[in-house]
Amino acid sequence: MTLQPMKRTVVVNDKMQKGYRYQLTALVGKNFDSRFKPELTPKQMLELGVFGGKYMTDCKKEFPSSWFKKAKLCPERHDPKLNHFGVNASQPLSVWRRKGWINGQDPRGWFQWYCRYYMGRRLPLEDERQIKRWLAVKRHVSQLIKNCARGDLSCRPKQRQAVLHWAYDSRKI
């Protein structure tokens, strides 16, 4: 017997979206596209330290409270010291917008899409776009493997932090 999720509507009211609604149609953390195999969950990423702690500070009502219990967050500002590797590996949101990386449904970018996808939202065209972007990050993983001794976490910390932002566990490289 296959469990089918109950469709549930989520209403978002945060600093970047007011009244945005979406449906959860897949089980939490299940039924991912076969090409999409993130090594970290959103909760794990937030606990390790990503995006200078600024990301998601006003989204706590949308996602499980357990994601935020040990999250490294800073609502006031972007603080690279909160990143797992202690370095800045982010570009400003204005750059993301200018490059066309932002979809209006997910104004915070890839990680917001991933959090919603993880929770069970499915948007076929946007899912395809974001999964292709995630797959493209593998080139950075390959560079870490090629240029760093296994387990040398001091090698290329900015690149390690960047791939961590994409749910690749760069601590294992």
Return the domain boundaries, the chain: 28-172
pTM of structure: 0.92
Instruction: Tell me, rounded to whole angstroms, the distance of Cα 58 from its chain centroid.
Output: 15
Closest CA to 49 of 73, 66, 75, 78: 73
Residues in Cβ contact with 160 at an 8 Å cutoff, skipping those fewer than 6 apart? 85, 144, 153, 170, 171, 173
Q: pLDDT tens digits, the chain, 173 residues: what are they?
A: 555 556 899 999 999 999 999 999 999 999 999 999 999 999 999 999 999 988 888 989 999 999 999 999 998 888 999 999 999 988 877 887 888 878 889 999 999 999 999 999 999 999 999 999 999 999 999 999 999 999 999 999 999 999 999 999 999 98
